[in-house]
């Protein structure tokens, strides 16, 4: 199985093909997805998260809802960087 970080980065690279200003993934886990320093608007961000969610579901055979109450109620957003999103997804896969 692919690791979660690799899946996220693959989905970003694929998503970048449709963006005028692509997400720079050269920082790996520190790549900013959303918030200060991010290049995605809210519509693109939601689209990317849905793509990542589908890829994780396909790879791991589990249905994860990344944008649910659990994610929104966290003190620190799990959507800030590739690393924070990967950690959040890995925790959900363990539960």
pLDDT tens, N- to C-terminus, the chain (95 residues): 789 999 999 999 999 999 999 999 999 999 999 888 899 998 999 999 999 999 999 999 988 888 877 776 677 889 999 999 999 999 999 98
Rounded Cα–Cα distance for residues 95 and 91 (Å) = 6
Rounded Cα–Cα distance for residues 7 and 57 (Å) = 11
Q: Which fold has domain 4-94?
A: 1.10.1200
Sequence length of the chain is 95
- Domains of the chain, by residue range, sit at 4-94
Rounded Cα–Cα distance for residues 84 and 66 (Å) = 12
Whole-model pTM: value is 0.90
Rounded Cα–Cα distance for residues 70 and 35 (Å) = 19
């Amino acid at each position: 199985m692919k690791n979660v970080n690799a899946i996220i980065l693959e989905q970003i690279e694929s998503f970048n093909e449709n963006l005028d200003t692509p997400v720079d993934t050269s920082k790996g886990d520190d790549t900013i997805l959303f918030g200060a320093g991010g290049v995605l608007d809210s519509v693109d961000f939601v689209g990317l998260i849905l793509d990542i969610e589908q890829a994780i579901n396909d790879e791991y055979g589990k249905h994860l809802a990344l944008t649910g109450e659990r994610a929104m109620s966290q003190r620190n957003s799990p959507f800030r960087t590739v690393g924070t999103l990967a950690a959040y997804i890995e925790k959900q896969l363990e539960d």
